[in-house]
Amino acid sequence: MFILVLDPPALTLDWCLRCVAAGHTVKLYTKGSRSSHIGEGLVDKITNWRAYMNVADLIFSSDNLEMMDEIDEYIKKGYPIFGPGKRAAKLELDRMYGQKVIEDFGGKVIPSHPFSNYDAAIKFVKEQGGRWVSKPIGEEEDKSLSYVSKDEADMIGFLTKRKEMGSAANFILQEFKPGVEIAVTGIFGPAGFQPYWAEGFEHKKLMNDEKGPNTGEMGTVIRYTRYSKLANMLLKPMEETLHKIGYVGMIDVNCIVDEKDGTPWPMEWTARPGYPMWQIQQALHKGDPAQWMYDCIHGKNTLEVEEKTAVGVVICNSDFPWSKKPLESYLDFPIITDGCKIENIHPCEVKLTTTMKMIDDELVEDLPEWGTAGTYVCVCTGVDDNITDARDKAYKQIKKVKVGNDYGYRTDIGDKCEGYLKKLKKFGFCTGWKF
């Protein structure tokens, strides 16, 4: 199969390499200086992606920020595209629109208010009082703009600081809802949803115990299941909308389940693969990594998965998530993976480099090896029937990975899931999970 991957931020390297290993021809398009070295020497990278659109058997659109208008036109023309165009991307990027879609099918939404002016937002919080959550709208990638306040004064202080810094003001204030945060992912195509749902617990902060800056994610615990109460309530009602826009791809909804009455409050959509979610899913997928995607585009649901739990932990350089140093500062540090199971280590910002090793007490130079090409190095996964054993396996893999002295990872991924599951199971959610 000839596969074209449109991945400006270069987050799909692991999947690309799995496709190459399965015998497929893969062309990878990335964009921007920060992603220019990712995959170098490991996969065939291209610059003119349009030249391959007419010959590709499968086109994987993995991001929702770049080229959306143009890709949407290709989707309308029937090109074999797995992933978002403009219409699907709007679900995530326009948070108010995403909330309206939920209201349209009768779902409950968290009261949200858009702002393009810090003074107006500060006035609003002073008048309303209480706890609020700030979230960016549109193509803003600054994760620091997502902020959960402790109280009224805390949010006013945050907004005042953002104003003083001269930060762009395009965000919503969302009423704080206490409860358990959980996400559920489905895979959609002309034949509807695939028969499996992936439920997951994200760990978004840089440091243990959910402290430090937002990173996107430092680790995730997921489980595939054929029955998900959460999916039945929030994803299944989306079928008509997704059919209307001709969407084929991943669709995820992140929500808060109210601790008092079990109401799932949807917070945001993701109509694309999530990261490291996508890498962790690969540890649970059976067979050819691309064939089921091709089949999905053509109206067949053929995905096969391990109905087990997977724990994924991100390994990063110390500068993550800011990555403000020159790109050269992050290049070519060897990633030593001796003794790791290759199916459970997932390269992210990685290239081919050379290193030296002592073999039989002799120094051997210029050995080919994975090397760093950024700060988001790789994901290690463990798979088992329960969270505890899956987590132990993930951390056993991590101990075998070496990236010089300048790397780190969280050591508590999955630790709080037992408490979360006890609360969720009271309301009929996550019934198949085992701790």
Reported as a single tens digit per residue, the pLDDT across 255-289 is: 999 988 999 999 889 999 999 999 999 999 999 99
**Mean pLDDT, range 329-339, rounded to an integer:** 86
pLDDT for the residue 108: 87
pLDDT for the residue 169: 82
**Mean pLDDT, range 36-49, rounded to an integer:** 96
Mean pLDDT lowest for which of 90-104, 222-236, 291-305? 90-104
Residues 162 and 221 reside in one and the same domain: no
The answer to the question of residue 84 being in a domain is no
Mean pLDDT lowest for which of 74-78, 163-167, 288-292, 420-424? 163-167
In this structure, are residues 158 and 149 in contact, taking their beta carbons and an 8 Å threshold? yes
142 pLDDT more than 70? no
**Mean pLDDT, range 126-155, rounded to an integer:** 82
Residues 166 and 201 reside in one and the same domain: no
pLDDT for the residue 290: 98
pLDDT for the residue 143: 54
pLDDT for the residue 185: 97
The answer to the question of residue 208 being in a domain is yes
User: How many structural domains is the chain composed of?
Assistant: 2
Residues 393 and 405 reside in one and the same domain: yes
Range(s) of the domain holding residue 147: 111-175
pLDDT for the residue 183: 97
Residues 230 and 170 reside in one and the same domain: no
DSSP 130-168: S-EEEEE-SS---GGG-EE-SSHHHHHHHHHHHHHTT--
Mean pLDDT lowest for which of 11-20, 95-104, 335-344, 382-391? 335-344
In this structure, are residues 421 and 230 in contact, taking their beta carbons and an 8 Å threshold? no
pLDDT for the residue 291: 98
User: Could you say which of 159, 175, 191 is where a domain stops?
Assistant: 175
In this structure, are residues 413 and 218 in contact, taking their beta carbons and an 8 Å threshold? yes
From the list 61, 135, 131, 49, the residue with the least C-alpha distance to 92 is 135
DSSP 145: G
**Mean pLDDT, range 98-103, rounded to an integer:** 90
228 torsion bin: left (phi>0), alpha (psi -120 to 50), beta (else): beta
Residues 410 and 331 reside in one and the same domain: yes
376 pLDDT more than 80? yes
Residues 267 and 310 reside in one and the same domain: yes
From the list 296, 195, 193, the residue with the least C-alpha distance to 251 is 193
User: Could you say which of 129, 154, 175 is where a domain stops?
Assistant: 175
Residues 296 and 367 reside in one and the same domain: yes
CA separation for the pair 425, 230 (Å, rounded) = 12
Tell me how far the alpha carbon of residue 100 is from its chain's centroid: 23
From the list 224, 229, 148, 181, the residue with the least C-alpha distance to 420 is 181
Residues 339 and 320 reside in one and the same domain: yes
Residues 187 and 263 reside in one and the same domain: yes
Name the average pLDDT for the chain.
92
The answer to the question of residue 209 being in a domain is yes
Number of residues in the chain: 435
Q: Token pair 């994901």 is at which residue?
A: 379
Residues 162 and 311 reside in one and the same domain: no
Mean pLDDT lowest for which of 23-32, 101-110, 386-395, 422-431? 101-110
CA angle 348, 189, 77 (to 5 degrees): 95
Token pair, residue 359, equals 């073999």
Q: What CATH number does the domain containing 163 carry? A: 3.30.1490.20
324 pLDDT more than 60? yes
**Mean pLDDT, range 217-242, rounded to an integer:** 96
140 pLDDT more than 70? no
User: Could you say which of 145, 175, 205 is where a domain stops?
Assistant: 175
**Residue 303 pLDDT class (50, 70, 90 cuts):** very high
pTM: 0.91
**Mean pLDDT, range 364-391, rounded to an integer:** 94
Give the residue with greater pLDDT, 359 vs 257. 257
CA separation for the pair 433, 429 (Å, rounded) = 9
- Give me the amino acid identity at 81: I
CA separation for the pair 186, 217 (Å, rounded) = 19
In this structure, are residues 81 and 54 in contact, taking their beta carbons and an 8 Å threshold? no
The answer to the question of residue 39 being in a domain is no
